[in-house]
Structure 1
Amino acid sequence: MHRDVQTLVWLVNGLVAWPAKARKRPRAYYTWQGWQHLAEVGSRSLAIVSIIAACTGMILALQAAQQLEKVGALSYVANMVSVTIVKELGPLLTAIILAGRSGAAFCAEIATMQISEEIDALQVIGIDPVRFLVAPKIMAMLIMLPVLTLWADLVGILAGGLFSSLLLGLSLQGYLNQAVLFLGTNDVVASVVKAAGFGGAITVICCWQGFLAREGAADVGRRTTKAVVQSIFMIILLDFFFTALNYIAG
């Protein structure tokens, strides 16, 4: 436990010192790492995020229609779908997808390097492991997770609208107008802030578990599993915190 806490403190201190080091001593290979991770986290996650967001929008539209039809308020399907996706399911599902996809990859990469003593080799040749390995990952997650969340929000709302117009008999134009009128700027900002918080938590937890790997190849799998489970647990906790904060502020 002492080593776990010590490693976490070392990692957080390295991330706090990273911006100052990056300004004083920029290096081309750090920039290359950043672009590589932006592509890996962003564009290569786009398909799975789009599919899950579209399915979520259609499911929400159907569930909302079943309940609202009982009270003659079918026109409010757009309100239910848009608010639920933007405020909750958009950032939450996108973060869970990236925790299982990118977070697991982060942990496995660092754990493998730790076991094969590549981390020690980086330090010997004067390369900061946190700046070289962790900083590009957290930058990619802080940028791409909010972007993917906004995309998921858009896809989910549009999919719900298309589903409602084709199978529920609602006007697509009316659905979209209702969704735009009901959503506020604060809702979108809250969604983006949530996503950024989730991205930071996922990266720190997954990289932390990677640096803790010690016991051979089998430990890579154990650490990766722990990293994903802990990331999802932290996402749920942060979601509750942000939702409560938004409720109090509103």
Structure 2
Amino acid sequence: MAAAAASLRQVTPQRLALAGCWTARGLGNVAELLADAQPARAEQGKEKGEIELEVSGLKALDSAGAYVLQKLLLRLGPAGQPARLLGLPEPMQALMTVVAEQLAQTESVAKPAEPSPGVLERLGREMVKRGSAAWLELLALLSFVGENALALGRCLLRPTRFRWRPMLFNLRLAGVDALALVGLMSFLLGVVVAYQGANQLRQYGANIFVADLIGLSMLREFAPLITAIIIAGRSGSAYAAQIGSMVVSEEIDAMRTLGLLPLELLVLPKLVALVIALPLLTLFADVLGVLGGMLMASVKLDVTPTEFIERFSKAVSVTSYLIGLGKAPVFAAVIVLVGCFQGFRAKGGADSVGRQTTRSVVQSIFLVISADALFSVAFSALDL
């Protein structure tokens, strides 16, 4: 005889009656069977009361049926508690208890935690994140350079658009006021280079070649590089702090509202002034650096100033001098554009201004040294 199919009917809004064989063969379509419990669940929200399942009509129950019944109890009961089960025979009650315990154990097992990323994975993610940010910042910097090139082109076509007074003010601020610091650093650098080379030259009796060492190193590399680094820390940071403070205090927005172009008013005067001032500072650094080296050569190597100058004029060509001087305008443009760019990126408050100022100094020095390396490679390839 075929087993009676499992059935489920609603007796009252809070009571359901189960009948038939709740076994693997008698359950049939479980989805349709459980769908009959939806009306009772809806009624529960209207009339407060505990859902009860009358199971005295059950003819058979196996583990499959007990599993379905236990899930139904949990589904219809209040949060965390199963519904009440009425009229269940003792043997079936034991089976239901076993299935309930098994379900509780299964659901209590926590999902395995995802393994924490290793050092290399974390490093890779951080590098990707920083690389993406650096790429976007580089694109923004290139866009800023293009905007300044267009603004400079407009001013060259109409010279009356130049802000001459701010340019002269920045020329004094970045040029004249920096003479003492640049001269002192260059003089000490010349002393250090001569002092470090003195012992080696003395060993081979080549004291006079200290003029070659000082002349070529200072005029081609050290003077323009040390001058650019000093100006990047001194004036580049000032540019970023000034513009950053104006951005935070909304002065830049006020300029745009009045029809004034911030690039023409704030960036171009600084750019033109430093492009003029930095080659002159480099020339000043050349003179002081050579004087420092000549002094140390006289003290350590007994090379008189006359002998030093005579050898210096033979060792150092005009080309070497112009190579060092020609780097200065490029370094000046890098310092001004990076400083002003970071200033315009400030937002929020004083903390952002300080952060962008620090970035401007670091990036300016990095780009200046990178440009100097590229110049060295290019001049070497051109045999200059």
Amino acid at match of 1:148: L
Partner Cα separation in structure 2 for residue 190 and residue 111 of structure 1: 35
TM superposition shift of 1:31: 0.7
Structure 2 unmatched runs, 5+: 1-132
What does residue range 79-228 of structure 1 map to in structure 2 within 5 Å? Answer: 79-228=212-361
Structure 1 unmatched runs, 5+: none
Figure out how many residues of one structure are paired with residues of the other and give that number.
Answer: 249
Partner Cα separation in structure 2 for residue 156 and residue 69 of structure 1: 21
Q: 1:26 aligns with which of 143, 157, 160?
A: 160
Partner Cα separation in structure 1 for residue 221 and residue 139 of structure 2: 34
Highest RCO, 1 vs 2 (Cα 8 Å, sep ≥ 6) = 1
SS across alignment from 1:26: helix
> Percent identity, aligned pairs only?
35
**CA radius of gyration, larger in:** 2
Partner Cα separation in structure 1 for residue 254 and residue 139 of structure 2: 20
Partner Cα separation in structure 2 for residue 137 and residue 56 of structure 1: 28
Q: Which residue of 2 aligns with 1:52?
A: 185
TM superposition shift of 1:215: 2.0
Q: 1:59-91 deviations in whole A, cap 9, x for unaligned?
A: 111111111111111110111011111111101
TM superposition shift of 1:4: 4.1
Report the aligned-residue RMSD. Answer: 1.7
Q: Given the alignment of the two structures, is residue 38 of structure 1 paired with residue 149 of structure 2, yes or no?
A: no
Q: Given the alignment of the two structures, is residue 234 of structure 1 paired with residue 371 of structure 2, yes or no?
A: no
Q: Given the alignment of the two structures, is residue 70 of structure 1 paired with residue 203 of structure 2, yes or no?
A: yes
TM-score (norm 1): 0.94
Partner Cα separation in structure 1 for residue 159 and residue 204 of structure 2: 64
Q: Are the aligned partners of 1:4 and 1:212 in contact in 2 as well (CA < 8 Å)?
A: no
TM superposition shift of 1:10: 4.5
TM superposition shift of 1:188: 1.3
Partner Cα separation in structure 1 for residue 138 and residue 186 of structure 2: 37
Amino acid at match of 2:264: R
Partner Cα separation in structure 2 for residue 170 and residue 5 of structure 1: 50
More strand by share: 2
Q: Which residue of 1 aligns with 2:146?
A: 13
Q: Are the aligned partners of 2:212 and 2:311 in contact in 1 as well (CA < 8 Å)?
A: yes
Partner Cα separation in structure 1 for residue 295 and residue 208 of structure 2: 14
TM superposition shift of 1:178: 1.0
Partner Cα separation in structure 2 for residue 9 and residue 246 of structure 1: 25
Partner Cα separation in structure 2 for residue 170 and residue 69 of structure 1: 11
TM superposition shift of 1:19: 3.2
Partner Cα separation in structure 1 for residue 260 and residue 320 of structure 2: 41
TM superposition shift of 1:141: 1.5
Partner Cα separation in structure 2 for residue 236 and residue 86 of structure 1: 16
**Residues 7 and 132 from structure 1, CA distance in 2 versus in 1: closer, same or farther, beyond 3 angstroms?**
farther
TM superposition shift of 1:7: 4.6
More helix by share: 1
Partner Cα separation in structure 1 for residue 137 and residue 196 of structure 2: 44
Q: Are the aligned partners of 2:197 and 2:210 in contact in 1 as well (CA < 8 Å)?
A: yes
Partner Cα separation in structure 1 for residue 333 and residue 158 of structure 2: 24
SS across alignment from 2:259: coil
